[in-house]
Amino acid sequence: MSENGNSAPEETGGDQPRRVLRRIELRIPDGKGPERLDVFLARQVSELTRSKAQEIISSGEVTVDDQRAKPSHKVRPGQVIRLEVLSRPPLELEAEPIPLNVVWEDNWLVVIDKPAGMVVHPAAGNRSGTLVNALLAHYQELAPGGAPDRPGLVHRLDKGTSGLMVVCKREPALSKMAKLFREHNIEREYRAIVWWPMPLRKGLVDEPLGRDLRNRKRYAVRPDGKPAQTGWNRLEKFDFLSYLAIHPETGRTHQIRVHLSSIGHPVFGDSDYGGRNRQMGRLTSGQRKVAAAYLEKIRRQLLHAAVLGFSHPITRKELRFESPLPEDFSWLLEQLRAGEL
């Protein structure tokens, strides 16, 4: 199967200018079985979900052998599919008076303790209520980020992950902070509760990561992925869970969650990577009741960014911040230590 991607000029369809990021040509190889066009594109094109593929197919932006097709069209060997991937229209960012837990700040930086459940920046499914919306209400100036919808941001935490983040108010702080992250000159420690007792006191997961070919919103260990390393130390172990300190040496999307799941210890409560009901079949009936009670209370992955340390990009002062465990995390630890429920 071949794919050609070429940059192209700007288009103005609609009210907002949109650029053609790349033009794609896919030739269906010999031996390929029949598959719906929308499903095929969602698997092959990283920018597309199945619903987005259906949308652009229905609007005529996709051709099969130079003819318009329906999302249900079954692709066959020898056919040629062509489409253009357009940039998203810029989001209108709105300031919203959302409370923020500011740990520390100066004229250049602000360190935030993000609660679980808060999305970091606006996107198609979350245009409001994000950390960026809150920051815009609290600060008149934020450094331009790598994308228009990410002012001040040099890193992010998943929606369900709580803990420390640094945000840049102005340049050159953002560029220099980005370099610190890129060169891994940041101290980061996460805390997690994971499934099953860890047999060793410490370990390192060194596996490359890339998008999951079956679900483009998730990530997976892949031989052709980007290098990723996650170190861990066992702090405590319990009947069917473990409490870990985690030190990511790289910063790939979903890295900790994917790596721990790949070694059979998914983060407790993580519905995307096997950390909820998928583990229940290995429990005894008594353990199953206890785990169900825990999961009733815990509605997210128990992953917390507990420590953030770095050399200030402007003043060079060494900074180190610690975040206490949030309420749901502390509650489960108390239950486990007491052997309750």
Catalytically active residues, by annotation: 158
DSSP 174-226: HHHHHHHHHTT--EEEEEEEEES--SSSEEEEE--EEEETTEEEEEEE-TTSB
CA dist 287 and 120 (Å) reads 35
The answer for 179, left when phi > 0, alpha when psi is -120 to 50, beta otherwise, is alpha
DSSP 136-179: HHH-S-----SSTT-TTBS----TT-EEEEEEE-STTHHHHHHH
Instruction: Report yes or no: 241 and 195 within 8 Å, Cβ to Cβ.
Output: yes
Instruction: Report yes or no: 22 and 5 within 8 Å, Cβ to Cβ.
Output: yes
> What is the helix (H) or strand (E) element at residue 38, kind and residue range?
helix 37-44
Q: How far is CA 218 from CA 61, 209, 294, 336, in A?
A: 26, 10, 25, 30
For residue 173 the two structure tokens come to 């702080």
Residue positions counted in the chain: 341
DSSP state of 129: S
CA dist 215 and 208 (Å) reads 17
